[in-house]
Chains A and B, each alone.
Chain A
């Protein structure tokens, strides 16, 4: 294998529905400054810059080229990645491969999205075949409705449990100064919110956020000298899958074999993780809807099939619980899409550093899993550890 890869700095902007006060380059610049400050480095210490967003959301073709000054990319090598919702995860993975190659010592990874530029749902609709289902697809909501529906049919889970999951994430978000939605919710509030596609209600879905997150990765030599304790990205796995088959109406069938299962089983096997709930201390799972949490928990083998809702009912996923999931409040609280994957990794690293403040998990956190999810079924998965 190549060089070990450590996270030595991270910074994120605040996340809001609209940022009319600032343009995309300025927003990126804010995140980059915070990450450099955190690592006690200057932009001159950075060897290469990886950046990602979903292009059609802002309507910028070659958006990387437009933000060269703000991102600190002038006369530096760099790449622009875009894999949809997984973009942020892909960007971190790209940075990882750059360090692992031995050619670069330090890599700056930047994820961003400015969803106040256009109605995101319009851009998201172009994820579908224009001559087939673009006109009738219900976007991401339909996918989660299908998930929720079949999960309720197959297990004892009820709407109340998804609502409780949402409440727990909101409680976590209120302890995270960077979270976008810091809602004070009860189960009743969630159950009273408007149905989008049953059983998905408005409060079950992630917001359309503007924000940026920057992260600095380095090789072992550099990480050992870092200002903050490094957190190591021990391993990673990317799995995509074919575009799901459209089947009538506005919902998609769940794929027979999930990309998550494939990624998780490979990654666990390589790293000797036999009981994920025991071996992993903290999880940032990229759940764009509270309904996704149950299938996610089971596909990542955090628990057995059909058992996730019971763990939620027991509130084991809370910050103080045995299996803390989304201590940041998760994607359902904050979703600047291109940044969301980077934020998952950064939040996990912050937990392993022990610097997550009010949202620091109670149990001793030495290992974590961060993921990015998108395109209906794609996954990028990272195994983080305090130890190299």
Chain B
């Protein structure tokens, strides 16, 4: 990239079920926190935030034009606001392109969702083509179960290896004050939890969660001015696979590989395992952390199980994955990808406390959407030495 885009600040709500809060309150809390942290304001003259890019979904909000819920609190009043109706990582991806295009110098990116206000499985069901897959009563969990089974069968991945993802991530969350479900778990806890859709058990899936996340990004000049620890966005990529899961080899995440290829190419990363210090990825189900690790080129196809067993993905390991606790510790859909970005930025700024990856300089952010990970977004970030 000819110009650089820097992450200036990030903030999030604590995640969890929030029956006490309106949608707008949830979004506003994250926005207020990031404004306080950075000291920036919405301005007209280039002395602050120029525009807002939000991320939410009409279906989850039960509200057509769901960004109406962030206009008041998110700086959209008589100002530019645009909504990306995809995962939050895409909102950051788009915001970075807007800065590169030169129309805006500083953008607030905000994502919100209250999963608890609706039966999410019905939303997911309406995310499937209506006359073919939707009528079968599938949701993203039952489709992911088919993906899990095929992946485990093809490569001999064990359920215990998947359970280790849950144990690692929920354990990492013990050090994350925003996490919804920090817990010390055992393999027996995971394998003994109720079955949702075999082989996926309750603890293999992310819990229902509410919350919001906000980031402020800017041009190189603005980022250097407004933070002494800018985190630079160096690689951007995203890609679509085909819709019907039956069309895809579910054990081969092609669109993830393509998104990673774009991002790594832009950032000049040729050996992801060696060059990346930590990864925040979107594991909606435990097995997906293993499969996505393969797609991100952190290990060979089918080696995701060995990767977790080796301990390499622990905090302190060779390539820590989800030191924040990941989605399995409870992050709402849509917010997920932006939360990954916030956590990566916190790590590279060295502000991650007990979950800090020592000396972390480069990180990869991953967002996913659709049934069985149909679309993926990959963003690579780096801090100055």
Contacts and interface: CB of A to CB of B under 8 A. Distances in A.
Tell me if chains A and B make direct contact, with any CB pair below 8 A: yes
Given A240-B77, A242-B71, A262-B78, A68 B64 contact: no
A56 interface: yes
Interface stretch (A122-130, A167-175, A319-327): A122-130
Tier of interface size on chain A? 35 or more
Nearest to A59: B126
A93 interface: yes
Interface residues on B, range: 35 or more
**DSSP majority for the A interface?**
mixed
B254 interface: yes
A180 interface: no
Given A2-B102, A78-B238, A65 B371 contact: yes
Contacts of A103: 1, 97, 100, 236, 266
A124 B65 CA distance: 9
B241 interface: yes
Contacts of A66: 129, 243
B136 interface: no
Q: Tell me which of B71, B82, B124, B266 has the highest count of chain A C-beta atoms within 10 A of its own C-beta.
A: B82
B243 A97 contact: no
B255 to A, nearest CB: 7
Contacts of B370: 62, 65
Interface string A128-159: 00100000000000000000000000000000
Contacts of B375: 64-65
Contacts of B59: 55-56, 61
A60 interface: yes
A238 B71 CA distance: 13
A66 B90 CA distance: 17
Given A73-B240, A130-B63, A79 B78 contact: no
A123 B64 contact: yes
B65 A83 contact: yes
Interface in B1-27: 1-2
B68 interface: yes
A268 B7 CA distance: 32
Contacts of A100: 100-103
Interface in A370-385: 374-375
B354 interface: no
Nearest to B65: A84
A387 interface: no
Contact of A75 (B76, B80, B103, B240): B240
A54 interface: yes
B81 interface: yes
Interface in B49-93: 51, 57-59, 62-68, 71-72, 76-86, 90, 93
Contacts of B86: 62, 64, 79-80
A34 interface: no
Given A83-B83, A100-B101, A126 B62 contact: yes
A301 to B, nearest CB: 17
B84 A80 contact: yes
A55 B51 CA distance: 24
A379 B78 CA distance: 10
B67 A83 contact: yes
Contacts of A90: 82-83
A127 B65 contact: yes
Nearest to A255: B78
B126 A60 contact: yes
A59 B58 CA distance: 10
A78 B240 contact: yes
A218 to B, nearest CB: 14
Interface in A210-256: 236-243
B240 A65 contact: yes
B239 interface: yes
Contacts of A242: 71-72, 76-77
Given A61-B124, A77-B237, A56 B82 contact: no
A257 B98 CA distance: 27
Given A74-B240, A99-B101, A238-B80, 12 more contacts: A1-B102, A55-B64, A61-B123, A61-B127, A65-B375, A94-B82, A100-B102, A102-B2, A103-B236, A123-B64, A127-B68, A240-B71
